[in-house]
């Protein structure tokens, strides 16, 4: 089938003289051009003082390196300047509202960073005798306990390293449970509105993916799920609240239907931050759900990871939890990391990663949980939902809410009908937000909506911040409708780079720096 999700990926030539033309350096005040380390570094320079080796006899055998590596070095002041200059070309949640729907860019408390850096957590080895790391094991057990209580589930596997890895962990538990029953149910139902990781995860471990349509109101109908269920269906993967920012009203019925058919309910927990302390996934029939600690529990996104994706499991799946896990015995944590250490009723399906999971993320998440408490976590969810609905109420007369029949949860989805006839696309609109000092919202996701714009303000914004954001978007919409297309199609104009030529990057990939051939 023709995929019609294409959009311009090669910018029009800029129609204005470059604003840098007037400086000798090409710099623009605080925005300084910075070359690559390979262009400024030198192989003989180092920013680390180390003692001179004594030159003892080598035990490297015939394997000693003979070829140069081609690694540049920078002295410490050069390195600091290089990375500080680069950092200034990035947008960040610390610097402004970051309304990326589904990504949950909330404030990252610095206390969490401080706790993660306590030597007792940061400077311990994963294979030290367990008697020397009981405090670390307690952290793992505690985070698991919080997640179990918040979700109403039976167990929590802590080792998955990211959301998608948690999905894999959960779907593996389902597969293990199915095969333990001797059941061959190779099909997984995935709604069209699902994030791409869901079908990718299911396919990775050999499930066949069968699509379930989304209704015109942005939700999944229990009737459609029931119609899709046959004796080959072993599971459904459903995001709730869903990718359109709506709590699935028929979720309990959907869960019952899949359970009646002998299957399992995998919930994508990407949007758990809307419902913490308000409703428990265990109460609406979930069997497995990953939790993105980097979303709901504010561990920093770090420019694309590291994340952490513990997966909570229902009574029906708990026995299959992967190794390693921490068991509490007589009030003390016991690490189980090998099948030989398991007890009756523990049938782990294997191991997902070396060692014990993203400890550095657990300490941050625990600091966040302890800081908020049960009361603060619930308030955070309510404020996130309140803020999203406030943005929606403040924009719905000018922008088109994709699914007006349902209240939004923590994010509001608009489509591009309001831009019809303006010559401005979702992409242009997003880029114009950059010029106004905002990171754009998530765009063109979910795919079930044309020109999707998914806005998630989070609970971290003050009302004044939300009001300015709303006023900015209103002005942009008026501008688009008034025919000021250049404000959009030429945007962004004030960022460190203008629109990038993605076509060129993909047609002739240049994925590392190559020494230029000397121009003679």
Partner 1 sequence: MKLYTKDHEWIAIDGDVATVGITTYAQEQLGDVVFVELPDVGKQLSKGGEAAVVESVKAASEVYAPLDGEVVEANAKLADDPGLVNLEPETGGWFVKMKLPAGTDTSELMDEAAYEAFVQTL
Partner 2 sequence: MRYLPLTESDRAEMLARIGVDTVDALYSDVPADELLDHLLDLPKAKGEMEVERIMGRMAAKNLTASAAPFFCGAGAYKHHVPATVDHLIQRSEFLTSYTPYQPEITQGTLQVLFEFQTQVANLTGMEVANASMYDGSTGAGEAVLMAHRVTKRRKAVVSGGLHPHYAEVIATLSAMASDEVARLAPNVGGDEDLLSAIDATTSCVVVQSPDVFGRIVDLKPIADAAHAVGALLIAVVTEVISLGAIEPPGARGADIVVCEGQSLGNPLGFGGPYVGLFAARSKYVRQMPGRLCGETVDAEGKRGFVLTLSTREQHIRREKATSNICTNAGLCATAFSIHLTLLGEAGLSRLAALNHEAACEVADALANLPGVEVLNDTFFNEFTVKLPVNAARLVEKLAKEEGILAGVPVSRLLPEAGLDDLLLVAVTECSTADDRAALVAAISEAL
Site residues for partner 2, 90-149, by CB under 8 A, read 90-95, 98, 100, 103, 105, 107-109, 111, 113-115, 117-129, 131-136, 138-139, 146, 149
Question: How far is it, in rounded angstroms, from Cα 92 to Cα 107?
Answer: 10
411 binds, among partner 2, partner 1, none (CB under 5 to 8 A by kind): none
Q: Among 239, 288, 412, 439, which residue interacts with partner 2 (rule: CB under 8 A)?
A: 439
The H-assigned helical ranges of 181-238 are 197-204, 222-228
Of 190, 256, 251, nearest in space to 409 by CA: 251
Q: Please, are residues 163 and 322 in contact by the beta-carbon 8 Å criterion?
A: no
Question: How far is it, in rounded angstroms, from Cα 257 to Cα 238?
Answer: 13
Q: Among 334, 434, 468, 486, which residue interacts with partner 2 (rule: CB under 8 A)?
A: 434
Of 73, 87, 452, nearest in space to 245 by CA: 452
Question: How far is it, in rounded angstroms, from Cα 249 to Cα 279?
Answer: 13
Residues in contact with partner 1, counted by CB under 8 A, come to a total of: 16
Q: Please, are residues 366 and 143 in contact by the beta-carbon 8 Å criterion?
A: yes
Site mask for partner 2 (CB under 8 A), range 332-351, x = bound: ------x-xx-------xxx
Beta carbons within 8 Å of 349's beta carbon, 6+ residues apart: 172, 173, 175, 176, 320, 322
According to the binding rule CB under 8 A, does residue 232 interact with partner 2?
Answer: no
4 binds, among partner 2, partner 1, none (CB under 5 to 8 A by kind): partner 1
According to the binding rule CB under 8 A, does residue 213 interact with partner 2?
Answer: no
254 binds, among partner 2, partner 1, none (CB under 5 to 8 A by kind): none
Token pair for 390 = 């406030």
CB of 4 to partner 1, least distance (A): 4
CB of 393 to partner 2, least distance (A): 5
Of 147, 127, 124, nearest in space to 136 by CA: 124
325 binds, among partner 1, partner 2, none (CB under 5 to 8 A by kind): none
Site mask for partner 2 (CB under 8 A), range 17-36, x = bound: -x---------------x-x
Site for partner 1 in 209-248 (CB under 8 A): none
Question: How far is it, in rounded angstroms, from Cα 396 to Cα 401?
Answer: 6
Q: Among 54, 57, 497, 507, which residue interacts with partner 1 (rule: CB under 8 A)?
A: 507
According to the binding rule CB under 8 A, does residue 283 interact with partner 2?
Answer: yes
CB of 361 to partner 2, least distance (A): 6
Q: Among 39, 283, 405, 502, which residue interacts with partner 1 (rule: CB under 8 A)?
A: 502
According to the binding rule CB under 8 A, does residue 185 interact with partner 2?
Answer: no
Q: Please, are residues 295 and 136 in contact by the beta-carbon 8 Å criterion?
A: no
According to the binding rule CB under 8 A, does residue 510 interact with partner 1?
Answer: no
Please identify which residue in the block is written with the tokens 């333990």: 180
462 binds, among partner 2, partner 1, none (CB under 5 to 8 A by kind): partner 2
Q: What angle do CA 331, 332, 338 make, to 5 degrees?
A: 130
Query: Residue 72 gets which letter from DSSP?
Result: -
Beta carbons within 8 Å of 510's beta carbon, 6+ residues apart: none
Cβ closest to partner 2, residue 245 vs residue 263: 245
Cβ closest to partner 1, residue 9 vs residue 371: 9
DSSP strand pairing (311-313 vs 155-157): antiparallel
CB of 153 to partner 2, least distance (A): 13
Site for partner 1 in 5-64 (CB under 8 A): 5-10
Q: Please, are residues 190 and 209 in contact by the beta-carbon 8 Å criterion?
A: yes
Residues in contact with partner 2, counted by CB under 8 A, come to a total of: 210
- DSSP per residue over 168-185, as a string? HHHHHHHHHHHHHTT---
According to the binding rule CB under 8 A, does residue 503 interact with partner 1?
Answer: yes
500 binds, among partner 1, partner 2, none (CB under 5 to 8 A by kind): partner 2
95 binds, among partner 1, partner 2, none (CB under 5 to 8 A by kind): partner 2
Please state at what angle helix 163-180 crosses helix 197-204, rounded to 10 degrees.
40
Token pair for 238 = 């459903």
Site for partner 1 in 418-447 (CB under 8 A): 444
Which of the ranges 411-419, 449-457, 479-487, 496-504 carries the binding residues for partner 2, by CB under 8 A? 496-504
Q: Among 2, 4, 51, 516, which residue interacts with partner 2 (rule: CB under 8 A)?
A: 51
According to the binding rule CB under 8 A, does residue 205 interact with partner 2?
Answer: yes
Question: How far is it, in rounded angstroms, from Cα 343 to Cα 339?
Answer: 9
Q: Please, are residues 176 and 234 in contact by the beta-carbon 8 Å criterion?
A: no
**Residues within the interface to partner 1 (CB under 8 A):** 1-10, 444, 502-503, 505-507
């Amino acid at each position: 089938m023709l995929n019609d999700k294409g959009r311009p990926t090669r910018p029009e030539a800029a129609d204005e003289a470059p604003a840098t033309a007037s400086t000798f350096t090409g710099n623009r005040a605080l925005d300084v051009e910075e070359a690559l380390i390979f262009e400024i570094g030198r192989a003989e320079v180092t920013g680390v003082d180390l003692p001179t080796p004594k030159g003892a006899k080598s035990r490297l055998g015939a394997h000693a390196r003979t070829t140069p590596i081609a690694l540049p070095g920078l002295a410490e002041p050069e390195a600091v300047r290089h990375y500080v200059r680069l950092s200034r070309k990035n947008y960040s949640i610390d610097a402004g509202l970051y309304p990326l729907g589904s990504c949950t860019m909330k404030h990252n408390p610095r206390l969490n960073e401080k706790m993660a850096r306590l030597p007792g957590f940061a400077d311990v080895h994963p294979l030290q005798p367990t008697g020397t790391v009981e405090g670390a094991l307690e952290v793992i057990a505690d985070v698991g306990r919080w997640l179990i209580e918040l979700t109403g589930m039976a167990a929590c596997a802590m080792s998955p390293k990211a959301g998608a890895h948690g999905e894999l962990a959960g779907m593996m538990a389902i597969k293990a449970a199915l095969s333990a029953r001797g059941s061959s149910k190779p099909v997984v139902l995935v709604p069209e509105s699902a994030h791409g990781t869901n079908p990718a995860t299911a396919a990775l471990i050999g499930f066949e993916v069968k699509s379930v349509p989304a209704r015109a109101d942005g939700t999944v109908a229990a009737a459609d799920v029931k119609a899709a269920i046959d004796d080959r269906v072993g599971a459904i993967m459903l995001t709730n609240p869903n990718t359109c920012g709506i709590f699935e009203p028929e979720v309990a019925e959907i869960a019952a239907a899949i359970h009646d058919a002998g299957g399992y309910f995998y919930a994508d927990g990407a949007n758990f931050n809307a419902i913490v302390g308000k409703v428990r996934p265990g109460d609406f029939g979930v069997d497995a759900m990953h939790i993105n600690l980097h979303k709901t529990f504010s561990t920093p996104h770090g420019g694309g990871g590291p994340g952490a994706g513990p997966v909570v499991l229902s009574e029906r799946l708990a026995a299959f939890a992967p190794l390693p896990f921490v068991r509490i015995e007589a009030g003390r944590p016991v690490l189980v990391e090998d099948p030989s250490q398991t007890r009756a009723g523990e049938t782990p399906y294997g191991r997902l990663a070396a060692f014990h999971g993203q400890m550095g993320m657990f300490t941050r998440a625990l600091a966040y949980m302890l800081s908020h408490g049960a009361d603060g976590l619930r308030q955070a969810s309510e404020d996130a939902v309140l803020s999203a609905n406030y943005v929606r109420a403040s924009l719905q007369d000018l922008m088109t809410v994709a699914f007006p029949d349902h209240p939004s949860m923590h994010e509001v989805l608009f489509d591009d009908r309001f831009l019809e006839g303006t010559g401005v696309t979702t992409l242009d609109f997003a880029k114009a937000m950059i010029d106004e000092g905002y990171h754009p919202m998530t765009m063109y996701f979910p795919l079930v909506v044309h020109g999707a714009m998914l806005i998630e303000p989070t609970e971290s914004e003050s009302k004044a911040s939300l009001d300015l954001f709303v006023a900015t978007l209103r002005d942009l919409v008026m501008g688009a409708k008034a025919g000021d297309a250049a404000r959009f199609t030429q945007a962004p104009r004030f960022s460190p780079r203008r629109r990038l030529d993605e076509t060129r990057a993909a047609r002739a990939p240049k994925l590392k720096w190559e020494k230029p051939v000397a121009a003679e």
